[in-house]
Amino acid sequence: MSSDIKKYHFVGIGGIGMCGLAEYLLLNGQIVTGSDMNPSENTTRLEKLGAQIKFGHSRENIGDCDVLVYSSAVSPDNPERMIAAERRIPTLRRAELLGQIFATKSSRIAISGTHGKTTTTAMVGQVMTFAGKEPLIFNGGLLKISGSSLQIGNGNMVIAEADEFDRSFLELSPTQAIITTIETEHLDCYQNLADIKDAFYKFTAKIPDNGQVIACTDEKEIPEFLRKINRPFTTYGLNNGEFQASNIQLSQNSSSFVVYHEKESLGSVQLNVPGRHNIKNALAAVALAFLFDIPFHTVQKALAAFQGVKRRFDIIYESQALMLIDDYAHHPSEITATLTAARKGWQRRIVAVFQPHLYSRTRHFYKEFAQSLQIADVIVILDIYAARETPSEGTSARLIFDAIKKTRNLDVYFTATKDDALKLLKEIKRNGDMIITLGAGDVNKILPKLME
């Protein structure tokens, strides 16, 4: 990062990947302005720290900034990007700015994978914090403990969620990298699974010879992937790997298990987040801690104290009569993991309220969505949250609805809007239900109204 830059303007400053970078700059004495379509929890926090934020996008918003920062979701015809180009103001993708900050530390840990990045980043950050490493952390979700995606640390370690979308993670130069999963995803910017794997090969090639890849060999694509990389690697998993979990006990919002390294017991771990997928995430943190010679008792304390991340099996309300949960799951594998955790942990009727995210993702995965949602007892499907995409003819959430109806005679409903979904839920809910909102859009806005 250049010390000459004093004023940054963020287009889409409230986005989860953008707000942490803006907060970092503010806390380091930089002037930050920004714009977004609507106020949010993130913009409110940044304004309290001194950011000047305008709502709506306009050429006038950028003022006299030295650099304009934008995310991959902001198109080239955005008026603020256009005026910056006309005035020859330097611009940076969000990933480029993260890469510049990332490069300032000697230990650079990147958490990658098509699923599980956010929670794993948070767990790794917690372990390294308990170990006294004072890490700088950039997460892709809001930590429950702080309400921010950023944790400032003065040590020589940075931990960052490494997003494969738009090949953003290729801007990072990690010394260690975790790969949680490699699956077909983001087909709006990748051609197919082979294209995604090629990006992961390029990502791991950036790791130095004395670095390390840590990967989950339970995942179908990982073993072959590791055989083709020319880097040292460590493996973990529930069924395979150098680090494994045994004696797994799942109970509501918690789990316990014994960690084995090369068939030798290290000890037990207690987690206060549900599901077998979170045990895998914890094993990744254990394996990384082992590389840094962190005592296992420190890892145990850190993971036992882990409170989770907002919108990741986030329990909004719980009573005997009703349980409300919000989850960011927006890929079939993530929905399967979330609903399985609910099914294994509680004896409640599960009502899944799913809002598909992106037309392209719905078009490519509607059959897989239909399959994963059937873990629930009742399914409510909203129409697609378009996000960065424009409507696509012939693609709607009814594809998922119809696919479920063809395979099983489940209680499944289609509602076009959140208001319609809210009315329906009030009609169909029973005493003791668990209602789970699923999706990367704004489906979670239903929950406060249900609580009323």
109-147 tens-digit pLDDT: 999 999 999 999 999 999 999 999 999 999 999 988 888
Q: Contact at 8 Å (CB) between 80 and 35?
A: yes
Task: Give the confidence band of 408 by pLDDT, cuts at 50, 70, 90.
Answer: confident
Q: What is the pLDDT of residue 73?
A: 83
pLDDT by residue (tens digit) across 36-83?
A: 999 999 999 999 999 999 999 999 999 999 999 999 889 999 999 999
Task: Give the confidence band of 2 by pLDDT, cuts at 50, 70, 90.
Answer: low
Sorted by where each starts, the structural domains of the chain and their CATH numbers stand as: 7-92 (3.40.50.720), 105-304 (3.40.1190.10), 314-451 (3.90.190.20)
Describe the strand order of the beta sheet including 322-327 as a list of residue ranges: 314-318, 322-327, 433-438, 350-354, 378-382, 411-415
pLDDT at 1 over 70: no
pLDDT by residue (tens digit) across 282-329?
A: 999 999 999 999 999 999 999 999 999 999 999 999 999 999 999 999
Task: Give the confidence band of 383 by pLDDT, cuts at 50, 70, 90.
Answer: very high
Q: Extract the runs of DSSP E, i.e. beta strands, from 319-442.
A: 322-327, 350-354, 378-382, 411-415, 433-438
CB burial string 85-109: b at 16+ within 10 A, e below: eeeebebbbbbebbbebbeebebbb
Q: What is the rounded distance in angstroms from the CA atom of residue 166 to the CA atom of residue 39?
A: 26
Q: What is the rounded distance in angstroms from the CA atom of residue 342 to the CA atom of residue 338?
A: 6
pLDDT by residue (tens digit) across 140-193?
A: 999 888 889 999 999 999 999 999 999 999 999 999 999 999 999 988 889 999
pTM over 0.85: yes
Please give the residue that has the higher pLDDT: either 61 or 451. 61
Q: Which of 105, 117, 310, 418 is catalytic?
A: 117
242 is catalytic: no
60 is catalytic: no
pLDDT by residue (tens digit) across 395-404?
A: 999 999 999 9
405 is catalytic: no
Q: Which of 118, 129, 184, 235 is catalytic?
A: 118
Structural element, H or E, at residue 7? strand 7-11
Q: What is the rounded distance in angstroms from the CA atom of residue 84 to the CA atom of residue 62?
A: 8
Q: What is the pLDDT of residue 387?
A: 84
Task: Kindly state the average pLDDT of the residues 269-286.
Answer: 97
Provide the Cα torsion 27, 29, 33, 34; round to 10°. -30
Q: Which of 23, 161, 164, 171 is catalytic?
A: 161
pLDDT at 275 over 80: yes
Provide the Cα torsion 288, 143, 207, 101; round to 10°. -140
Q: Extract the runs of DSSP E, i.e. beta strands, from 56-194.
A: 67-70, 91-93, 107-112, 136-138, 150-151, 157-161, 176-179
